[in-house]
A and B are shown apart, each in its own frame.
Chain A
Amino acid sequence: MANFYTDNNELRFHLRNPLMERICFLKERGYADKDKFDYAPQDYEDALDSYDKILEVVGQIAADVIDANAESVDIEEAHCENGRVTYAKGTQENLDAMIKAGMNGVTMPRCYGGLNMPVTAYTMASELVSTADAGFDNVWSLQDCVETLYAFGNDEQRKKYIPRVCAGETMSMDLTEPDAGSDLQRVQLKATFDEANNCWRLNGVKRFITNGDADIHLVLARSEEGSNDGRGLSMFIYDKRDGGVDVRRIENKLGIHGSPTCELVYRNAKCELCGERRLGLIKYVMSLMNGARLGIGAQGIGLSQKAYDEALAYAKDRKQFGKAIIDMPPVYDLLATMKAKIDAGRSLLYQTARYVDIYKALDDIAMTRALTPEERKEQKTYSRLADAFTPLSKGMNSEYANQNTYDCIQVHGGSGFMMEYACQRLYRDARITSIYEGTTQLQVVAAIRYVTNGTYTNILRDLAAGDVIDEMKPLMARVSKMTDRLESVVNLTKENQDPEYHDLMARHLYEIAAVTVMAGLLVKDASSAPELFSSSARVYVNLAEAEVAKHASFVENFSVDQVADYRK
């Protein structure tokens, strides 16, 4: 029987990263729950063993239930009637299986009924779910909105909502509106305080809301009358049990059909303020977005993994010119490149997740006691690294998901263009990943200052200074050369002050930084587990080197007066 987790040694490798020991210690507060809860780990090894076993459960559900339902969910889609959403039959089965498995409120503390798992292990679960059905991953993984409620809600709100999420109630984040997509400062949904009933009320319309008929919503709304920028926005919790929000329609989409994308109408809907007024966009949505972007990285990897598995199986089976097509260089080139992008992308994704884990755990500890100076320093370092790595992981893994699903169809040839094969669904499902939760172009905006201030270069220098096995030394030397090139190209752009020139160059600098970082991380992983990654590391360094050369050459040959040729 297939199990998407136990069958995937490359994924399992990342659970054993040395940084996990610190993460588990912080997340478990030195294993303080071990005598309070019968399911709490005793120590580090016990914690890892538990995560491994829990991921095995998810891998089984992913293979037996979610993957088996993916095709019917894609065809049936979710439906909207009388303002309410009904999931496709398979989606409901998937959700029921995950709830029975206790896979809700995964990262929440045990006192609320959660599993208290680190973000890294939760992200692995999300990858597994996405490998089976990326659309269902949205419905399931929106549970991580609860992280924001946990971090910024008051004690009463935590006690009221978190146990419900742990019991399987679904969530949504209601941010975008017809005129506020990437530019969330334009949000107009109105929040007014109802003095008579001593509560807030929401009125207006939201659009493109994933899983918009969820049980518990986090809503971005304008609470400050007369304001017109991000500082007039606050965050609210809407409880479906109170009523007042209806689904006007479900969008008809290219992919992720199982995930209902809703237009919501708020009619005097009762809600609660979450956190402080005016911090809705500038603080809380940024927190929501960072969590979501990590999740889209996982979704991208899941899609890429499935695309690779499908392509590999087809290439072994399909015979032309008297032999299996996998034995032909143009085909095995495609497959090796897909595999290398997955391995490199996964190294980046879980490195990012680990950074997030450390700073979030320290943030959480800081709510109950003052951090020591060392801990404060650690918190700051990892918080900055998480901010730097999240847009790289989201951007690259979503772009790779598009490339890998494209190549999956290519391996299938004409059959891949037919609706009978899963690859067409993967191709359609992947397309949104580089758009929602911030387009790739916005990931470039989020990442560019870390390119220019040397954050990535420093990480790469640290990687190169660390020890690698002899077999990997030549590859690490090539990564160092790529790092030099990154540095020199960045310095070159600094000679010019034109902001449009910088915006035009940003994507190229981002690509150079991203592939170099991924190459460095993969070479490091290949040094720890050559049996899993050494061939991918060689393939990826070839690819990354060529990408660096391409983009560097573009920047080096671009003069500022050419901006006019691009401007319309």
Chain B
Amino acid sequence: MSLKIAVLAKQVPDTRNVGKDAMKEDGTINRAALPAIFNPEDLNALEQALRLKDQFPGTTVTMLTMGPGRAAEIIREGLYRGADEGYLLTDRAFAGADTLATSYAIATAIRKIGPFDLIIGGRQAIDGDTAQVGPQVAEKLGLPQVTYAEEILNLDENARKVTIERHIDGGVETVEAPYPLVVTVNGSAAPCRPRNAKLVQKYKRALGVQEKAAITKDGGVLPYADLYETRPYLNLKELSAADVDADFSQCGLAGSPTKVKAVISISFQTKDSKRMTGSDNDVEGLVVELLSNHTIG
């Protein structure tokens, strides 16, 4: 019994190590000051997928990520840990996507490269913190979903059902769900295994189309170029909007109903403190104040 599993992963700026240069004057992220990393909860998701692969020989784990050319790094990281293949969904048409347009692009890609028994992603990305993409992908594909998963406890191949422990507010819930299924995994789930020495050596030269182009532009030479002929797995697959038959009006900025009105850089000053009671008056006053200074709303 083998499974087909897709792992959704995102390359994000490392917002856990935010220094004073993290934001530019205009309120946008200063990507140069924040290294790009594998979204932490997506690593937890990858581990759940790899555990199923350990358990069910013949299972394939496919990485799927959306981003610019350099996001191929996410696919390599997956391969280093035991994933079998990967796709980088990349196109200028995808740029500026909010969660709706992102989930549209991912769902469209999954329809193209699938079907999968399980689609597993992290609960949320540390740059947006929305936790919307996983559930939206499930909705768009018409699949059931289990969110906030802590551990995939059991998979019954005959009944085609999985048992999952989820951590929810105030407790733990064990649920059973039929697959195909979308699962989003919490950061408190088992940490991802390390990179494997043999796989690192096998895949260290794997490159996406855009990465190769960046090396060879201006006459640069691609090191060990012949290996890309003899070892096809070193050529990481890229998918454009056209490749996945996407409707351009639903992609990127065009497909994103979210409009950013303004971005304001707010520095919280701990030195000002205010004491208030839980009375309706105080709470209302606080809400009004936070709304008016744009802390919320």
Q: Out of B197, B202, B231, which one reaches A101, CB within 8 Å?
A: B197
Known: A38-B231, A42-B224, A46-B224. A53 touches B204 (CB 8 A): yes
Known: A39-B202, A46-B224, A49-B204. A54 touches B197 (CB 8 A): yes
A48 CB to closest chain B CB (Å) equals: 12
Alpha-carbon distance between A53 and B195 when the two chains are bound, in angstroms: 10
Closest to B80 in A: A57
CB of B196 closer than 8 Å to a CB of A: yes
B204 and A60 contacting across the interface, CB-CB below 8 Å = no
CB of A103 closer than 8 Å to a CB of B: yes
Q: Out of B195, B227, B231, which one reaches A57, CB within 8 Å?
A: B195
Closest to A50 in B: B201
List residues of B (149-199) whose CB comes within 8 Å of A's CBs: 193-199
A533 CB to closest chain B CB (Å) equals: 29
Q: Out of A50, A61, A102, which one reaches B204, CB within 8 Å?
A: A50
Alpha-carbon distance between A103 and B196 when the two chains are bound, in angstroms: 8
CB of A85 closer than 8 Å to a CB of B: no
Interface centre among A54, A60, A65 (most CB of B within 10 A): A54
Q: Out of B194, B224, B231, which one reaches A61, CB within 8 Å?
A: B194
B202 — which chain A residues lie within 8 A by C-beta? 38-39
List residues of B (202-259) whose CB comes within 8 Å of A's CBs: 202, 204, 224, 227, 231
Alpha-carbon distance between A54 and B195 when the two chains are bound, in angstroms: 9
CB of B131 closer than 8 Å to a CB of A: no
B191 CB to closest chain A CB (Å) equals: 8
Known: A38-B231, A42-B224. A50 touches B200 (CB 8 A): yes
CB of A280 closer than 8 Å to a CB of B: no
A260 — which chain B residues lie within 8 A by C-beta? none
Alpha-carbon distance between A53 and B201 when the two chains are bound, in angstroms: 8
B231 — which chain A residues lie within 8 A by C-beta? 38
CB of A159 closer than 8 Å to a CB of B: no
CB-based A-B contact count at 8 angstroms:
50
Q: Out of B193, B200, B224, B227, which one reaches A53, CB within 8 Å?
A: B200
B196 and A102 contacting across the interface, CB-CB below 8 Å = yes
CB of A115 closer than 8 Å to a CB of B: yes
CB of A100 closer than 8 Å to a CB of B: yes
B198 CB to closest chain A CB (Å) equals: 4
List residues of B (268-289) whose CB comes within 8 Å of A's CBs: none
**A100-117 interface code vs B (CB 8 A; 1 in, 0 out):** 111100100000000100
A60 and B197 contacting across the interface, CB-CB below 8 Å = no
CB of A97 closer than 8 Å to a CB of B: yes
Q: Out of A41, A61, A100, which one reaches B201, CB within 8 Å?
A: A41
Alpha-carbon distance between A93 and B160 when the two chains are bound, in angstroms: 32
B194 — which chain A residues lie within 8 A by C-beta? 57, 60-61, 65, 97, 100-101
List residues of A (14-47) whose CB comes within 8 Å of B's CBs: 38-42, 46
Alpha-carbon distance between A103 and B202 when the two chains are bound, in angstroms: 15
List residues of A (90-134) whose CB comes within 8 Å of B's CBs: 97, 100-103, 106, 115
B77 CB to closest chain A CB (Å) equals: 12
Alpha-carbon distance between A338 and B202 when the two chains are bound, in angstroms: 39
Alpha-carbon distance between A50 and B197 when the two chains are bound, in angstroms: 9
Closest to B35 in A: A1
Alpha-carbon distance between A60 and B196 when the two chains are bound, in angstroms: 12
A50 — which chain B residues lie within 8 A by C-beta? 200-201, 204
A40 — which chain B residues lie within 8 A by C-beta? 201
A115 and B224 contacting across the interface, CB-CB below 8 Å = no
B196 — which chain A residues lie within 8 A by C-beta? 57, 100-102
A39 — which chain B residues lie within 8 A by C-beta? 197-199, 201-202
A237 CB to closest chain B CB (Å) equals: 26
Alpha-carbon distance between A65 and B231 when the two chains are bound, in angstroms: 34
Closest to A65 in B: B194
Alpha-carbon distance between A175 and B105 when the two chains are bound, in angstroms: 63
B195 — which chain A residues lie within 8 A by C-beta? 57, 60, 101
B34 CB to closest chain A CB (Å) equals: 13
Alpha-carbon distance between A60 and B192 when the two chains are bound, in angstroms: 13
A102 and B197 contacting across the interface, CB-CB below 8 Å = yes
Alpha-carbon distance between A42 and B224 when the two chains are bound, in angstroms: 9
Alpha-carbon distance between A14 and B186 when the two chains are bound, in angstroms: 41
A294 CB to closest chain B CB (Å) equals: 21
Alpha-carbon distance between A61 and B194 when the two chains are bound, in angstroms: 7
B193 and A54 contacting across the interface, CB-CB below 8 Å = no
A65 — which chain B residues lie within 8 A by C-beta? 194
Closest to B224 in A: A42
A105 CB to closest chain B CB (Å) equals: 10
B198 — which chain A residues lie within 8 A by C-beta? 39, 102, 115
Alpha-carbon distance between A57 and B197 when the two chains are bound, in angstroms: 7
B200 — which chain A residues lie within 8 A by C-beta? 50, 53-54, 57
B227 — which chain A residues lie within 8 A by C-beta? 42
A61 — which chain B residues lie within 8 A by C-beta? 194
Alpha-carbon distance between A50 and B201 when the two chains are bound, in angstroms: 6
B193 and A97 contacting across the interface, CB-CB below 8 Å = yes
Closest to B197 in A: A102
Alpha-carbon distance between A38 and B231 when the two chains are bound, in angstroms: 9
B14 CB to closest chain A CB (Å) equals: 9
B209 CB to closest chain A CB (Å) equals: 21
Alpha-carbon distance between A510 and B196 when the two chains are bound, in angstroms: 42
Alpha-carbon distance between A103 and B198 when the two chains are bound, in angstroms: 9
Q: Out of B193, B204, B224, which one reaches A100, CB within 8 Å?
A: B193
Closest to B201 in A: A39
Alpha-carbon distance between A53 and B224 when the two chains are bound, in angstroms: 17
Interface centre among A39, A40, A60, A61 (most CB of B within 10 A): A39
B204 — which chain A residues lie within 8 A by C-beta? 49-50, 53
Alpha-carbon distance between A102 and B203 when the two chains are bound, in angstroms: 15
B199 — which chain A residues lie within 8 A by C-beta? 39, 102
A97 — which chain B residues lie within 8 A by C-beta? 193-194
Alpha-carbon distance between A101 and B224 when the two chains are bound, in angstroms: 25
A122 CB to closest chain B CB (Å) equals: 11
A49 — which chain B residues lie within 8 A by C-beta? 204
A57 — which chain B residues lie within 8 A by C-beta? 194-197, 200
B197 — which chain A residues lie within 8 A by C-beta? 39, 54, 57, 101-103, 106, 115
Closest to B17 in A: A1
**A331-367 interface code vs B (CB 8 A; 1 in, 0 out):** 0000000000000000000000000000000000000
Alpha-carbon distance between A39 and B197 when the two chains are bound, in angstroms: 9
Closest to A1 in B: B17
Alpha-carbon distance between A106 and B201 when the two chains are bound, in angstroms: 13
Interface centre among B195, B224, B227, B231 (most CB of A within 10 A): B195
B30 CB to closest chain A CB (Å) equals: 19
Closest to A40 in B: B201
B283 CB to closest chain A CB (Å) equals: 40
Alpha-carbon distance between A38 and B196 when the two chains are bound, in angstroms: 14
A414 CB to closest chain B CB (Å) equals: 32
A166 CB to closest chain B CB (Å) equals: 10
B55 CB to closest chain A CB (Å) equals: 15
Alpha-carbon distance between A39 and B227 when the two chains are bound, in angstroms: 12
Closest to A57 in B: B195
Q: B residues engaging A (CB < 8 A)?
A: 193-202, 204, 224, 227, 231
List 9 A–B pairs whose Cβ atoms lie within 8 Å, in order of A's numbering.
A39-B197, A39-B201, A39-B202, A41-B201, A53-B204, A57-B195, A102-B197, A102-B199, A115-B197
Q: A residues engaging B (CB < 8 A)?
A: 38-42, 46, 49-50, 53-54, 57, 60-61, 65, 97, 100-103, 106, 115
Q: A41-B201, A54-B201, A100-B194 are in contact. List 11 more A-B contacts (CB 8 A).
A: A38-B201, A38-B202, A38-B231, A39-B198, A46-B224, A49-B204, A54-B197, A57-B195, A57-B197, A101-B194, A106-B197
Can you list the 8 inter-chain pairs with the closest CB atoms, starting with the nearest?
Answer: A39-B201, A102-B197, A100-B193, A101-B194, A39-B198, A102-B196, A38-B202, A54-B197
